[in-house]
């Protein structure tokens, strides 16, 4: 984190002009507001939250702003001697197992308190789980709670618990088609009104109903889906289909909703975990899922579908995410890109001031396409632990700024990668103009953000970038979220070296945004790994087409 600035160390404040590569009238007025905030910070005004968390609480409230991570081929019930005899038993066994696991981890430790201008993350006291049964249209038909060590307490008042669950089921179904920013606020208001109306003048009855409703709303939600009897190749295809999270929508305010997809024999299960970005970020949740997979055990080795090397366009899934946004997923062969990375690390590490990165190579390749040639790209960077909490830093960079010598593209890339390393270090240590900007963001009231979005749209795009890229190297599949300030779409990449069953490897790539944004990203990503050696004009570049064995390190 950035150090506290005082009158004595004003020279240590990073120049905020570095936020802008291009100047415009909006940027000048925005700089005036930034200077006022810096002055208040020097006077001793303190932020009550982390800057990145403040940004997520305002601009990542929508249903499509949630991100998804996966865990494939898990053992659903390692303690049972025999597989579950039917789907209901399998679902309840898995719910009990997941509920018990959540009680011994602090990873899923937040819920989201909705507000009209911003959502706020709150600490959870209990690790409850709610098994939700839905019909073919996604309407909730049953809620089965697994309370954290307090079930006996609720057993004494089962009639009250059933009353609350019946009302919540009605409200969940009635409000399920509203945008998340509205639904969460209305749901919370309606529960308060209902508890007052039903309890009348009985204060403790009102408080008890709200308490039970709160426990259910803040729970981790589990849905279950069962694949039909299919040939092995069809099962491999079906298990990688993006679930419809409009049907399996998190009805409450908890930070995680899980869709468990069982195979027909009920011997293995895939978890598709959807996380609310207001409450958490990708890396800590991937660490949570990796640990869960180690603890539960896997039934077999994961194999991705074989990547279509000649044309990714025929291998793309498209799923409506709600609120006008979509999610696309495809599998690409990254071996040529990894071979380029190995070659650059062997010959140009000194010029790059460190190793070439997968993120840097993807950004550079994207910027060669007309759609991304002028874009500034945002890359989230893990900033480690601060004050007992995981923090995220941001790296924003415009690759085109480093394209100066068409006769020597490798030299241009080395300068770009060197600058990326410098900005990554700043994001991790809390130094630099971007980290200072995020800390200043934490000083502002949410209303200021909404006004700024109207007054300075181009200036904010210049600061925060117009396209996003996020990479989680250990993720099996990482489904990207959308944001309100990335007008060029958001690309997410997981592990790019997963076996594909044919002796090769592939990696899952997802894109979030509107149809137009996704189309532009697909055009820019089309054959990018294969054409990167040509873009960099590497010696003997065509041999990279056949490169094998490069590792994702």
454 pLDDT higher than 70: yes
The pLDDT score that the predictor gives to residue 407 is 77
Integer Cα distance of 453 and 455 in angstroms: 6
5 pLDDT higher than 90: no
Do residues 401 and 488 share a domain? yes
pLDDT digit string (tens) for 520-544?
999 888 878 888 888 888 876 545 5
Q: Is residue 223 part of a domain?
A: yes
Question: Higher model confidence: residue 19 or residue 146?
Answer: 146
Do residues 116 and 159 share a domain? yes
pLDDT digit string (tens) for 480-505?
998 877 778 899 999 999 998 788 89
The pLDDT score that the predictor gives to residue 155 is 63
Q: Which residue has the tokens 């950035």?
A: 2
List, as one string, the DSSP characters of 264-303: TTSS-EEEEEEE-TTT--HHHHHHHHHHHHHHH-BSS---
Integer Cα distance of 130 and 146 in angstroms: 6
Q: Which two tokens stand for residue 110?
A: 């937040």
Among residues 267, 296, 325, which one ends one of the domains? Answer: 296
Environment class of residue 308 by beta-carbon count within 10 Å: exposed (0-12), middle (13-18) or buried (19+)? middle
Integer Cα distance of 495 and 312 in angstroms: 18
The DSSP secondary-structure symbol of 71 reads: E
The pLDDT score that the predictor gives to residue 151 is 60
CATH of the domain at 430: 3.30.559.10
Which of 174, 145, 177 minimizes the C-alpha distance to 161?
145
Q: Is residue 21 part of a domain?
A: no
Do residues 287 and 357 share a domain? no
Which of 46-55, 147-156, 307-316, 342-351 has the highest average model confidence (pLDDT)? 342-351
Integer Cα distance of 488 and 469 in angstroms: 11
The DSSP secondary-structure symbol of 298 reads: B
pLDDT digit string (tens) for 389-406?
778 889 999 999 998 777
The mean-pLDDT minimum among 278-282, 439-443, 495-499 falls in 439-443
Give phi and psi for 443, each to the nearest 5.
-80, -15
On whether the CB atoms of residues 111 and 124 are closer than 8 A, the answer is: yes
Average pLDDT, the chain: 87
Within 10 A of 363 (CB to CB), how many other CB atoms are there?
24
Do residues 477 and 422 share a domain? yes
The pLDDT score that the predictor gives to residue 81 is 58
The pLDDT score that the predictor gives to residue 385 is 73
3-state SS of the chain: helix, strand, coil percent to 5?
45, 20, 35
CATH of the domain at 95: 3.30.559
pLDDT digit string (tens) for 21-80?
888 888 888 888 888 888 888 777 777 677 888 888 988 999 999 999 999 999 998 666
Q: Pairing between strand 467-471 and 377-386?
A: parallel
Q: Which two tokens stand for residue 450?
A: 């909404």
Among residues 269, 296, 323, which one ends one of the domains? Answer: 296
Integer Cα distance of 246 and 473 in angstroms: 27
Q: Is residue 306 part of a domain?
A: no
Do residues 108 and 199 share a domain? yes
Do residues 273 and 367 share a domain? no
Q: Dihedral through CA 458, CA 461, CA 466, CA 470, nearest 10? A: 180
Integer Cα distance of 237 and 224 in angstroms: 18
Integer Cα distance of 318 and 330 in angstroms: 9
The pLDDT score that the predictor gives to residue 12 is 65
Which of 418, 424, 427, 428 minimizes the C-alpha distance to 353?
418
The pLDDT score that the predictor gives to residue 259 is 98
Distance in Å from the first CA to the final CA of the chain: 27
Integer Cα distance of 13 and 376 in angstroms: 24
The pLDDT score that the predictor gives to residue 1 is 45
Among residues 261, 296, 331, which one ends one of the domains? Answer: 296
Do residues 97 and 198 share a domain? yes
Integer Cα distance of 34 and 39 in angstroms: 9
Using alpha carbons, list the distances in angstroms from residue 240 to 201, 224, 316, 446. 53, 15, 11, 38
Do residues 292 and 318 share a domain? no
pLDDT digit string (tens) for 165-223?
999 999 999 999 999 999 999 999 999 999 999 988 888 989 999 999 999 999 999 99
Q: Is residue 102 part of a domain?
A: yes
Task: Please work out, in degrees rounded to the nearest 5, the angle formed at the alpha carbon of residue 466 by the alpha carbons of 465 and 467.
Answer: 100
Q: Is residue 135 part of a domain?
A: yes
Q: Give me the number of domains the chain comprises.
A: 2
CA 425, 427, 428, 430 dihedral sign is positive
For 115, the domain range is 66-296
On whether the CB atoms of residues 470 and 480 are closer than 8 A, the answer is: yes
Integer Cα distance of 474 and 477 in angstroms: 9
Q: Is residue 443 part of a domain?
A: no
Q: What percent of the chain has pLDDT above 70? A: 91
List, as one string, the DSSP characters of 98-133: HHHHHTT-SSS-EEEE--SS--EEEE-S---EEEEE
Do residues 183 and 289 share a domain? yes
pTM (predicted TM-score):
0.92
Q: What percent of the chain has pLDDT above 90? A: 55
467 pLDDT higher than 80: yes
The mean-pLDDT minimum among 16-20, 344-348, 424-428 falls in 16-20
Do residues 220 and 357 share a domain? no
Q: Is residue 49 part of a domain?
A: no
525: left (phi over 0), alpha (psi -120 to 50) or beta: alpha
Integer Cα distance of 82 and 130 in angstroms: 25
Beta bridge partners of 389: 386
The pLDDT score that the predictor gives to residue 470 is 95
Q: Which two tokens stand for residue 57?
A: 């609480």
Q: Is residue 463 part of a domain?
A: yes
pLDDT digit string (tens) for 313-343?
558 999 998 878 999 999 998 988 999 999 9
Integer Cα distance of 165 and 172 in angstroms: 10
Do residues 338 and 463 share a domain? yes
Do residues 157 and 242 share a domain? yes
How confident is residue 548, by pLDDT bands cut at 50, 70 and 90? very low
On whether the CB atoms of residues 488 and 517 are closer than 8 A, the answer is: yes
How confident is residue 438, by pLDDT bands cut at 50, 70 and 90? confident
């Amino acid at each position: 984190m950035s150090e506290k600035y005082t009158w004595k160390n004003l020279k240590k404040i990073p120049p905020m002009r570095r936020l802008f590569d291009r100047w415009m009238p909006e940027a000048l007025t925005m700089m005036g507001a930034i200077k006022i905030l810096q002055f208040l910070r020097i006077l001793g005004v303190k932020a009550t939250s982390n800057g990145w968390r403040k940004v997520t609480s305002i601009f990542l409230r929508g249903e499509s702003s949630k991100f998804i991570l996966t865990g494939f081929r898990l053992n659903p019930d390692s303690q049972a001697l025999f597989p579950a005899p039917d789907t209901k038993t399998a679902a309840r066994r898995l719910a009990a197992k997941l509920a018990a696991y959540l009680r011994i981890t602090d990873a899923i430790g937040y819920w989201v308190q909705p507000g009209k201008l911003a959502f706020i993350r709150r600490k959870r006291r209990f690790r409850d789980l709610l098994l939700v049964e839905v019909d073919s249209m996604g309407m909730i038909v049953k809620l089965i709670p697994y309370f954290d060590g307090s079930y006996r307490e609720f057993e004494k008042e089962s009639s009250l618990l059933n009353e609350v669950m019946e009302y919540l089921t009605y409200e969940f179904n009635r409000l399920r088609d509203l945008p998340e920013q509205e639904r969460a606020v209305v749901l919370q208001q309606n529960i308060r009104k209902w508890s007052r109306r039903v309890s009348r003048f009985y204060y403790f009855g009102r408080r008890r109903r709200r308490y039970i409703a709160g426990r259910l709303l803040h729970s981790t939600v589990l849905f279950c889906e069962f694949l039909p009897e299919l040939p092995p190749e069809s099962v491999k295809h079906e298990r990688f289909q993006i679930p419809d999270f409009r049907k399996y929508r998190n009805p409450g305010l908890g930070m995680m909703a899980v869709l468990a997809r069982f195979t027909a024999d009920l011997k293995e299960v895939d978890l598709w975990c959807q996380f609310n970005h207001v409450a958490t970020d990708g890396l800590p949740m991937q660490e949570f899922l990796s640990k869960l997979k180690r603890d539960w055990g896997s039934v077999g080795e994961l194999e991705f579908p074989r990547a279509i090397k000649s044309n990714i366009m025929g291998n793309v899934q498209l799923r409506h995410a709600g609120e006008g946004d979509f999610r696309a997923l495809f599998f690409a062969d990254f071996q040529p890109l990894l071979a380029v990375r190995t070659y650059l690390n062997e010959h140009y590490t000194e010029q790059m001031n460190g190793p070439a990165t997968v993120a840097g190579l993807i950004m550079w390749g994207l910027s060669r396409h007309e759609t991304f040639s002028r874009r500034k790209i945002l890359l989230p960077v893990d900033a480690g632990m601060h004050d007992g909490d995981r923090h995220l830093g941001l790296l924003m960079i415009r690759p085109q700024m480093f394209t100066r010598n068409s006769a020597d593209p490798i030299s241009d890339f080395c300068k770009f990668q060197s600058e990326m390393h410098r900005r990554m270090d700043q994001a991790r240590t809390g130094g630099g103009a971007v980290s200072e900007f995020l800390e200043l963001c934490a000083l502002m009231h949410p209303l200021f953000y909404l006004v700024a979005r109207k007054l300075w749209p181009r200036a904010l795009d210049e600061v925060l970038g117009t396209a996003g890229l996020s990479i989680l190297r250990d993720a099996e599949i990482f489904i990207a979220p959308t944001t309100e300030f990335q007008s060029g779409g958001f690309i997410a990449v997981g592990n790019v070296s997963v076996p594909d069953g044919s002796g090769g490897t592939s990696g899952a790539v997802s894109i979030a945004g509107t149809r137009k944004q996704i189309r532009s990203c697909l055009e820019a990503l089309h054959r990018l790994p294969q054409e990167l050696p040509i873009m960099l004009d590497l010696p003997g570049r065509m041999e990279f087409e056949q490169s094998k064995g490069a590792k994702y390190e």
